[in-house]
């Protein structure tokens, strides 16, 4: 079907004129790189490591003061390595990284040599069948670190089209389960692991931890972001695994249950929104026999959250919204928006979400809504997605979607509050309000996150249709976009002083 024939609102599969997807390396890096005292070696030509470092830094680091947060290195394979093999070069690179890396910008409290070194492959190494696992085993005997090797060529999907990128997360978690975790000699009473947190933002995960700790439930390990080698080793000592991201880590939960006897709980979606958070807390508490205490805590926190967002409900009522962020996040956001009285008309998410569609249909029915259009962004090109947006005309976009011609690049404004981002978007030609969930500095989970989520939506919706940017923001735009072109690779993270100046300018303008 030609993409110009009709707007692909629904489940149609379309030609890949401009694929909205990336390769294995990005997602294995997302799973592995945020761990503590960790370094990554990409066995490939030098460009692979550079591109992944840039992309992760821009979209998935904490922003200032961590502009290059991840420790990513390359074997820089050349023609000779690709023809004759690069095993010796890889081995030497492992030793060089172990002997020289001593600090970790993402976790500045850490120092000393890496405790885990990941080895990932680019297409060139996998095409020649480089035995990276043999090299890892050899190197591991000479250094005091785990060396985990994962084949990660971009062409290596088992399915013709990537299905939610589960393969990459499965590969990383399998390496941790098989090579790092140790069978539990004893269990840690009232302890739980949280599986599926892959963004290096402690504020986010703390929103899931503190209610459990208030109930006397210890969080033994969070996988993978912020986990140490010792925490991973003792993960099987937990009484329960709580799955934060069902799509990427349900396999890991099943494997840990099979291998170590750790049962698991999954809500099927990210804990975004008041009701999903209630269910998250209550179900984990029920496992430990703490329903009474949990009920009291949930009632108190729900009452506080509902009171905090009461004034915003009228503003949100009936607003047409497009949602797109992460794997199961769009499902949770869709449910929360429906509960808030909005009209979510589009959900843009990765392919392979069939198991989650009944949740969407159920939520729509319960809230008297028409089922939204589901855009499988891995299977649809830029033009098809743009046509769907033009047909359904959302008033607000929440999350992220790959349509750069319709929306300025928000990543360059990382660290700015949503109202400033919106002011910039409108001035640069954006045609709907945008709230960018790629800004991982902000917490969206739990009771507090549910309140902040609504407040940020309200702030964004209150922005005027036409605005005049103060001079400081014009200067900022010129700095980030040389010659007026929105090329995100040119972006340099702003300093704390620059961010403060921009915020002050925005307050004067608004």
What tens digit of pLDDT does each residue of 26-54 get?
889 989 999 999 999 999 999 898 888 87
Report the b/e string of 43-61 with b at 16+ CB within 10 A: bbbeebbebbbebbbbbbb
For 242, list phi and psi in degrees, rounded to 5: -105, 120
Higher pLDDT, 70 or 510: 70
The residues, any chain, with a CB within 8 Å of residue 210's CB and separated by 6 or more, are 446
Burial of 218 per CB tally in 10 Å (0-12, 13-18, 19+): middle
Q: In Å, what is the CA distance from 487 to each residue of 26, 418, 484?
A: 20, 21, 9
Q: Tell me the per-residue pLDDT of 474-506, one tens digit each, with 9 for 90 and over.
A: 565 555 444 433 333 333 445 666 556 655 655
Q: Tell me the per-residue pLDDT of 273-332, one tens digit each, with 9 for 90 and over.
A: 999 999 999 999 999 999 999 999 999 999 999 999 999 999 999 999 988 766 778 889
Residue 458 has pLDDT above 60, yes or no: yes
For 388, list phi and psi in degrees, rounded to 5: -65, -40
Determine what percent of the chain falls in helix, strand and coil, rounding each to the nearest 5.
Answer: 45, 15, 40
* pLDDT value of residue 353: 61
Cβ-based neighbour number of residue 176 at 10 Å: 25
* 3-state secondary structure (DSSP) of residue 475: helix
Distance, CA of 14 to CA of 136 (rounded, Å)? 41
Largest CA distance in the chain: 67
The lowest-confidence range among 21-30, 253-262, 263-272, 478-487 is 478-487
Distance, CA of 2 to CA of 346 (rounded, Å)? 21
Note whether 191-301 and 311-509 share their fold.
yes
Of 447, 401, 442, 395, the closest CA to residue 418 belongs to: 442
| Average pLDDT over every residue of 408-434 | 49
* pLDDT value of residue 12: 40
Fold classification of 191-301 (topology level):
Rossmann fold (3.40.50)
Distance, CA of 217 to CA of 215 (rounded, Å)? 6
CATH 3.40.50.11540 fits 24-161, yes or no: no
pLDDT, averaged across the chain:
80
Burial of 174 per CB tally in 10 Å (0-12, 13-18, 19+): middle
Fold classification of 311-509 (topology level):
Rossmann fold (3.40.50)
The lowest-confidence range among 214-218, 373-377, 423-427 is 423-427
| Alpha helix positions (H), 181-290 | 202-214, 229-233, 246-260, 274-287
Q: Tell me the per-residue pLDDT of 153-202, one tens digit each, with 9 for 90 and over.
A: 887 665 544 455 788 899 999 999 999 999 999 999 999 999 999 887 77
Q: Are 195 and 435 in contact, with CB atoms under 8 Å apart?
A: no
Q: In Å, what is the CA distance from 215 to each residue of 30, 190, 295, 306?
A: 31, 10, 10, 22
Cβ-based neighbour number of residue 109 at 10 Å: 6
Bridge partners (DSSP) listed for residue 242? 194, 265
Q: In Å, what is the CA distance from 310 to each residue of 303, 333, 341, 343, 456?
A: 10, 18, 12, 18, 14
Angle between helix 24-32 and helix 166-179 axes, rounded to 10 deg: 40
Handedness of CA 422, 244, 331, 210 (dihedral sign): negative
DSSP assignment letter at 356: G
Residue 218 has pLDDT above 90, yes or no: yes
Domain ranges of the chain: 24-161, 191-301, 311-509
- The first and second tokens of residue 239, run together, are 């009484």
Task: Give the CA angle between residues 36, 41, 45 to the nearest 5°.
Answer: 150
Residue 409 has pLDDT above 70, yes or no: no
Peptide bond into 272 cis (omega under 30): no
pLDDT more than 90, % of the chain: 49
Distance of CA 168 to the CA centre of its chain: 14
Residue at token pair 């790092």: 180
* pLDDT value of residue 405: 36
Of 179, 263, 180, 261, the closest CA to residue 228 belongs to: 180
- Please report which confidence band the pLDDT of residue 223 belongs to, taking 50, 70 and 90 as the band edges: very high
Distance, CA of 118 to CA of 132 (rounded, Å)? 11
């Amino acid at each position: 079907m030609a993409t110009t024939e009709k707007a692909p609102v629904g489940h149609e599969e379309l030609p890949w004129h401009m694929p909205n997807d990336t390769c294995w390396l990005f997602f294995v890096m997302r799973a592995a790189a945020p761990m503590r005292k960790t370094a990554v070696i990409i066995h490939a030509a030098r460009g692979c490591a550079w591109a992944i470092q840039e992309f992760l830094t821009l979209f998935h680091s904490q922003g200032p003061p961590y502009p290059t947060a991840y420790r990513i290195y390359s074997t820089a394979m050349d023609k000779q390595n690709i023809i004759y093999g690069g095993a010796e070069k890889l081995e030497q690179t492992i030793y060089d990284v172990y002997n020289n890396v001593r600090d970790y910008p993402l976790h500045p409290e850490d120092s000393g040599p890496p405790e885990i070194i990941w080895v990932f492959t680019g297409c060139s190494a996998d095409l020649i069948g480089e035995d990276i696992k043999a090299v890892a085993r050899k190197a591991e005997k000479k250094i005091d670190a785990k060396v985990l090797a994962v084949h990660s060529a971009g062409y290596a999907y088992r399915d013709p089209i990537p299905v939610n990128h589960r393969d990459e997360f499965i590969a990383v978690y399998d390496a941790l389960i098989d090579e790092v975790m140790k069978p539990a000699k004893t269990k840690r009473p009232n302890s739980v692991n949280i599986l599926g947190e892959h963004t290096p933002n402690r504020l986010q995960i703390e929103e899931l931890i503190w209610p459990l700790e208030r109930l006397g439930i210890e969080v033994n390990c969070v996988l993978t972001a912020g986990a140490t080698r010792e925490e991973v080793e003792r993960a099987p000592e937990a009484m329960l695994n709580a799955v934060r991201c069902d799509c990427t880590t349900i396999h890991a939960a099943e494997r840990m249950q099979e291998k170590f006897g750790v049962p698991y709980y999954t809500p099927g979606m990210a804990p975004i929104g008041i009701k999903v958070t209630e269910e998250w807390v209550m179900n984990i508490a029920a496992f430990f026999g703490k329903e009474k205490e949990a009920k009291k805590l949930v009632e108190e926190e729900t009452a506080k959250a509902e009171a905090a967002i009461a004034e915003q409900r009228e503003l949100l009522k009936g607003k047409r919204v497009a949602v797109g962020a992460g794997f199961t996040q769009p499902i949770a956001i869709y449910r929360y928006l429906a509960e808030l009285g909005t009209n979510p008309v589009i959900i843009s998410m990765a392919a392979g979400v069939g198991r989650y569609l009944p949740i969407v249909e159920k939520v729509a029915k319960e809230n008297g809504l028409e089922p939204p259009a589901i855009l499988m962004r891995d299977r649809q090109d830029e033009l098809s997605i743009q046509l769907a947006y033009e047909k359904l005309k959302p008033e607000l976009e929440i999350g992220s979607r790959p349509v750069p011609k319709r929306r300025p690049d928000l990543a360059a404004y990382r660290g700015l509050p949503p109202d400033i981002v919106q002011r910039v978007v409108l001035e640069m030609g954006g045609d709907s309000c945008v709230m960018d969930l790629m800004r991982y500095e902000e917490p969206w989970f739990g009771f507090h996150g549910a309140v902040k989520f609504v407040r940020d939506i309200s702030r964004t919706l209150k922005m005027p249709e036409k605005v005049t940017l103060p001079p400081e923001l014009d200067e900022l735009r010129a700095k980030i976009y040389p010659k007026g072109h929105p090329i995100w690779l040119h972006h340099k993270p702003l300093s704390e002083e620059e961010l403060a100046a921009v915020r002050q300018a925005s307050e004067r303008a608004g």
